[in-house]
Amino acid sequence: MVMLIVYSCAKKENSVSITNDERTMKKIEETIRNSIEWAKNKDTELLYNTIANDSAYIEVHPSDHVVKGFEEFKKMEKFWLDPDFKAIDYKIDDLHITLSNSGTVAWFYCRLDDFNEWNGQPMNWEDARWTGVLEIRDNNWKIVQMHFSNVCE
């Protein structure tokens, strides 16, 4: 009888699937959104809490510019924090997030409209394809890779 109860409890615990954990998926989506939203208030603390702060971080832009590592990423601060740059708004459409079987890695893809100004002139990424990979690090989701590309129709 005791064996049956122990087995039953163990089976029940293992039957819970992390892929169906709504809280986890919301936290991943929040991390993705924060990696864009930070610019509205130039909140670098929020930004640096969303991306991997190490040499393995990578970001690919439509211009084929590749950012390799957190230190190179931080060099772009001059541009984003310049008073001439102003984040206006963004829109994410068709966001799809997949969680790995281990529950420690996730990947996403979506369409992104990122509306900004430079010296009062529009400087937008419209209808861009955005993909990325996140990993759990120190109990928080961190973006370890992002790729932005123009959508050709």
Burial (CB < 10 A; 0-12, 13-18, 19+), residue 8, is: exposed
Domains belonging to the chain, first-starting first, are 23-150 (3.10.450.50)
Give me the mean pLDDT over the 90-94 stretch: 96
Q: What confidence category does residue 1 fall into, taking pLDDT thresholds of 50, 70 and 90?
A: very low
pLDDT at 120 over 70: yes
Whole-prediction pTM: 0.82
pLDDT in tens, 24-73: 999 999 999 999 999 999 999 999 999 999 999 999 988 878 999 999 99
